[in-house]
Chain A
């Protein structure tokens, strides 16, 4: 049962119910009412798009682009008779991020209802839910929910006795981070290597199998039934002017109570860490924190009062990303922490673009060298120069940026520590080496 929050919630309200994944329970709690309303009234598809656009909902997958605006990029069906698709990005792979999983496993029908309303809005004939390869339970629960919904006439031909047809298909990824990039996801869905496509053409013009496609994050779509039912004004009443609604903050790292919390946009990061997550663990001090996953730059402890909304975090020099906070305590060497992250991006770069393929490896090698005590005086400057060569927007997709941004944040926000680590070859005072612990683990394995 999700803890009661001191603010109005809606996203996780059903999550704690017994058998929350079942259609019966979902219906008892008002499920599919929004879909019924849209189909029976009936709303025009443009009206659904308009209310979502009006609500100010920004994509919860990391980029924070307006969901309703994205839908308007789909071509006019009167002029373009091609098939249209909605793809749901459930390839939740950003390190630290674990919010979509909760929704898929505990409230799958909420996602399905969102899919159906969104597909109606953009006139998609089918929805593909691309689930991360490791999320076996999410896949199984969602598939069971789709079967249940299909049996109840909620998926397939003539939904709820109306003329609206929509299929929902599941697709399981194979564990590649890059398949969470929307064009990589589409390539993977088509059965190819998950190599992102150059843009333009954008998915709305040339998406899945060359047809107009919209790709949305699970949590973004999950918001849609609520917006449709309660109205854009209600949604705008939550959060800040530029970032509306509640969002799911998955907080991990050195806190007492890591987990997924539903919070309004604009809440201070300190409130999340101290009130919801029980503060930094073991009574230690906060050293650094990521606002929204490993590809958003780490911020110093001094920035902990920053409000968690797109604009404020951007002003603080980072990004809200997926809203996945990672908290780092005072015993961690940030060079080591960044090395772990750099190693991740080195492993996950698809290898198409020169800067990303070689750059992620280079950053990884330099950080590894510094972490192992073989740093050089000019390494921090080299790291910065290389990261600037990888971003922004110099490559086909944003993975290169995702690898460069945390590196840049490290050398900018923690310049003294990095320089000292590189020069002396020693961990900062009071730090315990995570690499040494890892070595020990491997030695015992």
Chain B
């Protein structure tokens, strides 16, 4: 992908609202305005799409040479040396006000039930402009309020202002040209060819770029008011591209949206639907009452002193399947005991661990003299020419840089079969090795698991809960070796310790003489 960034290109001098600024002549005037912090509204213009100049809301006054000043669409006007631009002249202002009034003429003004309210460009600019009352008493257009455009998107034709950003997205970005404006004049609507549903892995982007609430995500519809979402800058975990995203959390609890964030070097303005809707691993429900497995693991569980897998001991305080809840300190002690007593030790990392966590795991491996690898699943078949790499390991590059080899699930199983004790580290690690493979392990390996969920595996000794990728800090290296920082968008459930700390404490505990590890000090 090429970057639209203007760095390093020759610039020319223009007058912008009274001050002389440098502007890139290869870019439309609106970019120069935005680059210098001058707010010019826009609906049809989007920096990632070719400009069409149809909404006419970005009109500004420009004077070039001796000609009298003209009001022009800033998105279709090239920057020229010496041009004098006034975005706030009375004429420019009036032209934009008129344009806004026309756009609102048929707009349903159903902001109170619109998902876009709060982040709607039309709402924002209408508010800023401040004309409280419309002058139209004519009936508004009656059109479809909820037309399904496939599995991802629903269209509200009444709210649509026909900016054609979505049409151009499928032309310019995916190259599939799936949407079109059909009909003429005020009867124009957005439609798919022959009413076919939208396809492809990038449909969700059109909801982001829609300046109004016409295109909304079926998964986000009526889920949250956007002003209740806390947005945190982070990176996507679903493939090794590591697209820049914001994680949007409702009331500090539920992750409601992953949305792309501009990154000129990686994903531009876009992300795939696989990453956009990857809520499965961040929204794992808590365990059923009385159960210790199958839900999000907080604190820790361990194999009961008297139990064996599948056979609970009634009335002994031991869980029905031989697992019991313990606090983190005791679990760590138990893990350290197991590790200290074993002969052959192995550490298997999840490809989701950050560089910081991998560093802590390597420290533990050195203390134990254990072999370290990460589980490397095969390509998942989602690869495309745009963003998705098809490699589900967000930190493959980082782990390889640290010298940790990636092994396929069968090779991991073979390595585990030879070990006495193994530590499985990081979110999704059990899933990626395969629960069947872990359940069928022979040779009596005892498993110490640090994952999001505990499973009642026969070899399970101890399982400790860990934060998922929206609950931790650290960084990955993406497929191109670029640093992808993670930030805490939501705190981990109570009782879940950061993985680096757990690994550090474990390393500290196994370094002590046997018998002294039962109490781990924090």
> A residues within 8 Å of B by Cβ?
176, 193, 198, 346-362, 365-366, 369, 382, 385, 388-389, 393-396
Contact = CB atoms under 8 A, between A and B. Distances in A.
B186 A346 contact: yes
A359 B102 contact: yes
Interface stretch (B2-10, B51-59, B245-253): B51-59
Contacts of A389: 95, 98-99, 101-102
Contacts of B135: 382, 385
Given A365-B139, A388-B98, 19 more contacts: A176-B184, A198-B76, A351-B162, A351-B184, A351-B186, A351-B188, A354-B54, A354-B102, A354-B161, A356-B185, A357-B188, A358-B102, A358-B186, A359-B102, A360-B185, A361-B185, A389-B95, A389-B99, A389-B101
A389 B94 CA distance: 9
A394 B57 contact: no
B184 A358 contact: no
A379 to B, nearest CB: 10
B52 A352 contact: yes
A354 B183 contact: no
Contacts of B102: 354-355, 357-359, 362, 389
A350 B184 contact: yes
8 contacts: A348-B184, A349-B186, A354-B99, A361-B185, A369-B138, A394-B59, A394-B99, A396-B53
Given A358-B103, A382-B135, A350 B185 contact: yes
Nearest to A381: B135
Interface residues of B, number: 34
Contacts of B105: 358, 361-362
B71 interface: yes
Interface in B408-432: none
Given A349-B185, A361-B186, A354 B136 contact: no
A357 B107 CA distance: 13
B186 A357 contact: yes
Q: Which 8 A-B pairs have the closest CB atoms?
A: A389-B98, A349-B185, A351-B188, A358-B102, A361-B186, A365-B138, A352-B54, A198-B53
B72 to A, nearest CB: 9
B57 A357 contact: no
Nearest to B75: A198
B56 A348 contact: no
Contacts of B180: 193
B123 to A, nearest CB: 16
B73 interface: yes
A201 to B, nearest CB: 10
Nearest to A399: B185
Contacts of A353: 54-56
A346 B185 contact: yes
Interface in B265-280: none
A422 to B, nearest CB: 13
A358 B180 CA distance: 19
Contacts of B184: 176, 347-351
Contacts of A193: 180-181
Contacts of A360: 185-186
A352 B53 CA distance: 9
Contacts of A361: 105-106, 185-186
A353 B59 CA distance: 12
A388 B103 CA distance: 16
Contact of A354 (B57, B71, B76, B138): B57
A366 B186 contact: no
A361 B139 CA distance: 11
A346 B184 CA distance: 9
Interface in B36-81: 52-57, 59, 70-71, 73, 76
B106 A358 contact: yes
Question: In the complex, which of the residues A346, A357, A365, A389 has the most CB atoms of chain B within 10 Å of its own CB atom?
Answer: A357
Nearest to B101: A389
Interface string B132-163: 00011011000000000000000000000110
A365 B98 CA distance: 18
A222 B509 CA distance: 98
Contacts of A346: 185-186
Contacts of B95: 389, 394
**Residue from B101, B102, B135, B164 whose CB has the most chain A CB atoms within 10 Å:** B102
Nearest to B55: A354
Contacts of A350: 184-185
Contacts of A354: 54-57, 99, 102-103, 161
Contacts of A347: 184-185
A25 B400 CA distance: 86
B207 to A, nearest CB: 21
A356 to B, nearest CB: 8
Contacts of B54: 352-354, 396
A394 B136 CA distance: 21
Given A198-B76, A353-B55, A394 B71 contact: yes
A396 B73 CA distance: 9
A351 B183 CA distance: 8
Residue picked from A359, A385, A388, most chain B C-beta under 10 Å: A359
A330 B183 CA distance: 38
Nearest to A400: B56
A393 B180 CA distance: 26
Contacts of B188: 351, 357
A366 B56 CA distance: 23
A354 B105 CA distance: 10
B185 A357 contact: yes
Interface in B86-122: 95, 98-99, 101-103, 105-106
Given A198-B76, A395-B56, A351 B98 contact: no
A110 B287 CA distance: 87
B215 to A, nearest CB: 18
A21 B499 CA distance: 89
A389 B97 CA distance: 9
Contacts of A355: 56, 98-99, 102
Contacts of B53: 198, 396
B199 to A, nearest CB: 23
A388 B97 CA distance: 12
A356 B76 CA distance: 18
Contact of A348 (B76, B98, B103, B185): B185
Interface string B162-186: 1010000000000000001101111
A211 to B, nearest CB: 19
Contacts of A348: 184-185
A339 B162 CA distance: 26
A198 B59 CA distance: 14
Contacts of B162: 351-352, 357
A369 B180 CA distance: 33
Nearest to B71: A394
Nearest to A193: B181
A351 to B, nearest CB: 4
B149 to A, nearest CB: 19
Nearest to B135: A382
Contacts of A385: 135
Contacts of B57: 354
Contacts of A356: 185
